[in-house]
Chain A
């Protein structure tokens, strides 16, 4: 069975600080996907990224970056120069497909508060 652990329940940073959200996953599959999602206080859900297990290159998108390390089963998310608008709950997830089922497992989320 898959499992995603986001050990940091809540993090507070001061605006402009960098912050890294940890995600550790467990899977027996060789092919899988990893995801990050954002849920602001408004409650909407925002998709951030999907990463294939074969692609270990780091990804950067503006102030966001993701570090995928198979050796440690981690897919960490870093926000550089954090802003108040980054305050949200962030979820990490992993996916595998099986016969007749689509297994997408989420972590419990990390609540990030960016203080002005």
Chain B
């Protein structure tokens, strides 16, 4: 099992450029998440998906769009990147087994917007 994979690992964008961060999990989880972590800060949830075809906004959804076209993949799109979106982006998936949740994180994507 690869767990949760993210691509790319690192990206530099110019202001106004667009890009899609890819996330995939091979654990057959229903729930998936996108977080961002700014330097020296905690995590903030951008979007959450409870299942294929459904998404919910998190704390900081502005400037982002997401797509959950299948159970395995959950992509995050920046339509017009801004320097404020410079961050490390983490994707995660989770399962609940007998009332106990376990979350699994990807390695992160470091994004620099100039």
Chain B, 26-50, contact with A by CB distance < 8 Å: what is the 0/1 string?
0000000100000001111100100
In angstroms, Cα B103 to Cα A108, docked, is 19
Residues of B contacting A52 in the complex (Cβ-Cβ under 8 angstroms): 99
The interface of chain B, by Cβ under 8 A from chain A, is 33, 41-45, 48, 56-59, 88, 90, 92, 94, 99-105, 107-108
The interface of chain A, by Cβ under 8 A from chain B, is 33, 37, 43-47, 50, 52, 91, 93, 97, 100-109
Interchain CB contact under 8 A, A101 and B58: yes
In angstroms, Cα B61 to Cα A101, docked, is 10
8 Å CB contact of B56 from A43, A101, A105: A101
In angstroms, Cα B43 to Cα A97, docked, is 17
Residues of A contacting B102 in the complex (Cβ-Cβ under 8 angstroms): 47
A50-B100, A102-B58, A104-B58 in contact; A43/B88 too (CB < 8 A)? yes
8 Å CB contact of A101 from B57, B88, B108: B57
List 23 contacting pairs A-B, 8 Å CB cutoff, sorted by A: A37-B43, A43-B108, A44-B107, A44-B108, A45-B90, A45-B92, A45-B105, A45-B108, A47-B92, A47-B102, A47-B104, A47-B105, A50-B100, A50-B101, A50-B103, A91-B42, A100-B56, A101-B57, A103-B58, A104-B45, A104-B59, A108-B42, A109-B42
8 Å CB contact of B43 from A50, A101, A106: A106
Question: Which are the 6 A-B pairs with shortest beta-carbon distances?
Answer: A47-B103, A106-B42, A102-B48, A45-B105, A50-B101, A104-B45
Nearest CB of A to B32, in Å: 11
A45-B90, A45-B92, A101-B56 in contact; A93/B108 too (CB < 8 A)? no
In angstroms, Cα B60 to Cα A18, docked, is 36
Nearest CB of B to A113, in Å: 16
- The winner among B58, B101, B107, B108 for most chain A CB atoms within 10 A is B101
